[in-house]
Chains A and B, each alone.
Chain A
Amino acid sequence: MKNLIIALVASTFSFAAMADGHAEWWKKAGAPYAGTVLQGVAENTPPGQYAGEVLAKEFEALTGIKVQLENTSWDSMYDKAIKDMEANSGIYDFVYIEQDIVYDYLNRDFLVNITQGLANNPDLQAPGVSLDDFTTFIDYFKDGSGDVFGVPMEAFIKVYLYRKDLFEAADAKAAFRAQYGYGLTPATSFDQYRDNAEFFTHYCADKGMECWGTTVQGHTGHPASTYEFLESIGPSFGLYNWGVNMDNYHSCVEDGGQLNGGRAKAALNFWTQLLPFAPPEALQSTWSEVGASFAAGRAAQGWVYGENAAWIATDAEKSAVVGNVGVMLPPTAPGVMTQAASGNGYIGYFDGGAYGIPHSSKNIEATMLWLQYVALNDHQADWAIAGGRITHKDTYADPKVLAVDEQADGYFSLMRDTGFLYAGAPPFPFHGAGRGAIDPFIYSALAGEMTPEEALDGACKALDQVMSDLGYQG
């Protein structure tokens, strides 16, 4: 909240500065659409709140075009956006496109080609806006010919967070060395991660503290757990693209896939064996609860989405661990880092999203103005501070961002320097259907109803059945 208020004040100044530069152009461009109300739907994240509460108001003051952004839950956002686009009802003028759903949307021709739209309407091309200003994250929202279908508004990497105060406690260091025979440090290997988790669970219990050794995003009835396995734990073990063989769309080992291969099974075994060292709410935790648990000081370490990492480290009103958060790359299996660096693999999930315009929108031209306003360089630094996201190359070097970066133990620098080691979701148009087939098996493995081996054998068969039903296996 504090960050949002600071951003509101700061944005007023930057808005004034920007208005000095191009205010006349925006006023003139917006004049034909003055009074129009643009409806949008997005996931309720700190960057989304900033867009709705700060940018939308600035844009309305400048152009006379009102933006009503409905920030809602992840499930509800998809439900509303997809139903609207399928029915072609035109309720929403812009929708949030999460990186992993973009292939589905493009495949179904839901989205307006923004590059083409601006080329056809040069009068709508805003001064000071260049798609070249974006980081490479924008590439996820391009089609084969390089045309853009979504304007990135948030991008994060999923990092390893740890509690500096716990890891640096002298008695913890001594006790850890006595028990495990080596020094206590943030984990760089899975064995070390597990030892840390076990150690801090007992350490906290002995001290009467409400904390555990690790987070686990292990909801047994929500896709968040499947995502944690497929996009974070699996890749760090060398399981890429959900274990799907991209040449023949099979995921079982016997047909050339890897979803039930050795790396996948090692990853699922490792992950499920962390449960005894996770807070009791782990099996009902999505990404939001994991962020909240870590912020409440209930975990010593964990894989945490970047959208939560920044506020956990800096927002004292919401986080009890401000000043004590360390940020690092997560541990990886031998060889994975090399594969990621050479572009043949990745170590985790490059998360984020963009605003896109459905074909069904009744105000496409006015919405193009809004999306360009979102893309302006002027407010990127304040938006980064308020929402922990960076989508523009220059934002990293902004002094305000550098100051927050220091508070957040270098989270932004880590994203700038190592972002290339991460990747978005694989380009599956059947993303939702495929993940839905895997979900119950991951839930069962987490609940102990199946062994990790049984779960992955079942998951690969279910995923193969879906890919076969949908005609991807030829």
Chain B
Amino acid sequence: MFSNNRTGWLLLSPTIIILLIMGLVPFFYVLYVGFFKWNPLAVDPSMQFEGFGFNYRRLIFDEVFLASIWRSIKFSVVTLFFELGLGFILALSLLSSFPLKSFFRGIHTLPLVIAPIVVGSIFKLFTVQGLGPLPHLLKDYFGYTLNYGLHAEQAFWMIVIMDIWHWTPFVTLTLLAGLSALPQDPYESAKIDGANNFQIFIYITIPMMVPVLIVVIFIRLMDSLKIVDEVWMLTGGGPGYATRFTGIHIWKEVFEKRFYGLGSAMSILYLYITIVICWLLYSVMVSRGKNED
């Protein structure tokens, strides 16, 4: 037994060491830096300890940072709503047979393999005012002016659309895998009992899909809260603060303004908020599991 344990630990040790170096060490370093006032561009460029709460107290009253968090959460909720809805519809569609199904599935999956920064570039080329085809088409056929460099709401929704385009295929594929693995007995029983398709979907499919849905929500929520690349490419966080999500705000504070201490504190606080949101989801998942038992 002891020998088995030792072999197990030996085999695991490279992974554990890499995890420690790549994950925990940077985390604790950022946590440490977050307690200091530190900007190498300052008159005094050294790290100055001004109390554990110095940067965190400041963040509580930092309207721009708090607004960026609210913006990120709003973005995540909106994109999740649409990606789940569309993903579910597409997954259900892909369960049935129709002409060119394989072709559609291949095309539909393409965005998933494109790097976020490239997605941003594609959308920029497609939508930039004056040169991209979309503003021309919208203007010519619907009389609608698309200029997200000018209109904050358009910029936000353009990024929502871009994220939906990029990530709905992931939701579709994951839900399709879940739907394909569902047992058929409950469906047959329901049909014998006279349930219609809508009732079957609401009372059988959705309850059985809850674990898969929660995993999808979990992954997409964490991803969308971290969004940076696509936004960076498309709007740069503008106009004004309209698309300055927390990831971009932290980048600007740390790499543009060089507020290393404050930026580290922001990262830690944002990580904490992300963990809290995910913990709430986890609690829902666990309580749901218990109820089903």
Does A pair with B? yes
A282 partner residues in chain B, CB cutoff 8 A? 129, 149
Please, which residue of chain B has its CB at the minimum distance from the CB of A470? B42
A151 part of interface (Cβ distance < 8 Å): no
Of B15-23, B184-192, B233-241, the segment with at least 4 beta carbons within 8 Å of chain A is B233-241
Q: Are B239 and A107 in contact (CB under 8 A)?
A: no
The contact string, 1 if C-beta is below 8 Å from chain B, for chain A 356-373, is: 000000000000000000
A82 partner residues in chain B, CB cutoff 8 A? 255
Q: Are B39 and A219 in contact (CB under 8 A)?
A: no
Docked Cα-Cα span, A172 to B238, in Å, equals 37
- Chain A contact residues: over half helix, strand or loop, or mixed? helix
Q: How far is the CB of A302 from chain B (nearest CB, A)?
A: 15
How many A-B residue contacts, CB cutoff 8 Å?
105
The contact string, 1 if C-beta is below 8 Å from chain A, for chain B 225-250, is: 00000000001111111111000000
Contact of B149 among A284, A430, A469 (CB under 8 A): A284
Q: Are A283 and B129 in contact (CB under 8 A)?
A: yes
A415 part of interface (Cβ distance < 8 Å): no
By size class, the interface of chain A is: 35 or more
The contact string, 1 if C-beta is below 8 Å from chain A, for chain B 31-43, is: 0000000011111
Q: Are B128 and A79 in contact (CB under 8 A)?
A: no
Q: Are A221 and B129 in contact (CB under 8 A)?
A: no
Q: Which among A298, A430, A447, A471 has the greatest number of chain B C-beta atoms within 10 A?
A: A447
Please, which residue of chain A has its CB at the minimum distance from the CB of B131? A281
Q: Are B128 and A220 in contact (CB under 8 A)?
A: no
Q: How far is the CB of A345 from chain B (nearest CB, A)?
A: 26
Contact of A443 among B147, B239, B255, B259 (CB under 8 A): B239
Q: Are A469 and B150 in contact (CB under 8 A)?
A: no
Contact of B256 among A436, A447, A469 (CB under 8 A): A436
A440 part of interface (Cβ distance < 8 Å): yes
A335 partner residues in chain B, CB cutoff 8 A? none
Q: Are A447 and B152 in contact (CB under 8 A)?
A: yes
Q: Are B129 and A284 in contact (CB under 8 A)?
A: yes
Q: Are A447 and B41 in contact (CB under 8 A)?
A: no
B45 partner residues in chain A, CB cutoff 8 A? 108
Docked Cα-Cα span, A108 to B43, in Å, equals 11
Q: Are A444 and B130 in contact (CB under 8 A)?
A: no
Q: B39-81: which have CB < 8 Å to A?
A: 39-45, 64
B258 part of interface (Cβ distance < 8 Å): yes
Q: Are B243 and A283 in contact (CB under 8 A)?
A: no
Q: Are A433 and B237 in contact (CB under 8 A)?
A: no
Q: Are B239 and A444 in contact (CB under 8 A)?
A: yes
Q: How far is the CB of B94 from chain A (nearest CB, A)?
A: 37
A430 partner residues in chain B, CB cutoff 8 A? 41-42
A440 partner residues in chain B, CB cutoff 8 A? 64, 238, 240-241, 244
Q: How far is the CB of B216 from chain A (nearest CB, A)?
A: 31
B149 partner residues in chain A, CB cutoff 8 A? 218-221, 282-284, 446-447
A32 part of interface (Cβ distance < 8 Å): no
B211 part of interface (Cβ distance < 8 Å): no
Docked Cα-Cα span, A123 to B24, in Å, equals 49
B252 part of interface (Cβ distance < 8 Å): yes
A182 partner residues in chain B, CB cutoff 8 A? none
Q: Are A108 and B236 in contact (CB under 8 A)?
A: no
B257 part of interface (Cβ distance < 8 Å): yes
B135 part of interface (Cβ distance < 8 Å): yes
- Given contacts A222-B236, A281-B130, A449-B152, are A432 and B43 in contact (CB under 8 A)? no
Docked Cα-Cα span, A471 to B42, in Å, equals 6
Q: B104-149: which have CB < 8 Å to A?
A: 124, 128-131, 135, 147, 149
Q: How far is the CB of B190 from chain A (nearest CB, A)?
A: 52
A183 part of interface (Cβ distance < 8 Å): no
Q: How far is the CB of B246 from chain A (nearest CB, A)?
A: 15
The contact string, 1 if C-beta is below 8 Å from chain B, for chain A 430-460, is: 1011001100100110111110000000000
Q: How many residues of B contact A (CB 8 A)?
A: 35
Please, which residue of chain A has its CB at the minimum distance from the CB of B256? A436
Contact of A437 among B129, B239, B243, B257 (CB under 8 A): B257
Q: How far is the CB of B244 from chain A (nearest CB, A)?
A: 7
Contact of B239 among A280, A449, A466, A472 (CB under 8 A): A449
A429 part of interface (Cβ distance < 8 Å): yes
Q: Are A219 and B236 in contact (CB under 8 A)?
A: yes
A279 part of interface (Cβ distance < 8 Å): yes
B240 partner residues in chain A, CB cutoff 8 A? 220, 440, 443-444, 447, 449-450
B255 partner residues in chain A, CB cutoff 8 A? 79, 82
Please, which residue of chain A has its CB at the minimum distance from the CB of B58? A469
Q: Which among B150, B241, B255 has the greatest number of chain A C-beta atoms within 10 A?
A: B150
Please, which residue of chain A has its CB at the minimum distance from the CB of B145? A280
A104 part of interface (Cβ distance < 8 Å): yes
Q: How far is the CB of B123 from chain A (nearest CB, A)?
A: 12
- Given contacts A107-B41, A432-B41, are A221 and B147 in contact (CB under 8 A)? no
Please, which residue of chain A has its CB at the minimum distance from the CB of B243? A221
A219 partner residues in chain B, CB cutoff 8 A? 149, 236, 238
Q: Which among A220, A281, A298, A430 has the greatest number of chain B C-beta atoms within 10 A?
A: A220
Docked Cα-Cα span, A41 to B63, in Å, equals 37
Docked Cα-Cα span, A282 to B130, in Å, equals 9
Please, which residue of chain A has its CB at the minimum distance from the CB of B253? A436
Q: How far is the CB of B101 from chain A (nearest CB, A)?
A: 39
The contact string, 1 if C-beta is below 8 Å from chain B, for chain A 365-405, is: 00000000000000000000000000000000000000000
Contact of B238 among A107, A436, A447 (CB under 8 A): A447
Q: Which among B124, B152, B240, B258 has the greatest number of chain A C-beta atoms within 10 A?
A: B240
The contact string, 1 if C-beta is below 8 Å from chain B, for chain A 68-100, is: 000000000001001000100000000000000
Given contacts A221-B235, A450-B240, 7 further A-B contacts (CB under 8 A): A281-B131, A432-B258, A440-B244, A443-B238, A446-B149, A449-B152, A471-B44
Q: Which 7 A-B pairs have the closest CB atoms?
A: A221-B236, A283-B149, A221-B238, A220-B239, A471-B43, A280-B130, A447-B239
Q: Show the binding face of B for A, using Cβ within 8 Å.
A: 39-45, 64, 124, 128-131, 135, 147, 149-152, 235-244, 252, 255-259
Some 30 contacts from A to B, beta carbons below 8 A apart, are: A86-B40, A107-B41, A219-B236, A220-B235, A221-B149, A221-B238, A221-B239, A280-B130, A281-B128, A282-B129, A282-B149, A283-B147, A283-B239, A284-B129, A432-B256, A432-B258, A436-B257, A440-B238, A440-B241, A443-B239, A447-B149, A447-B239, A447-B240, A448-B150, A450-B240, A469-B42, A469-B259, A470-B39, A470-B43, A471-B43
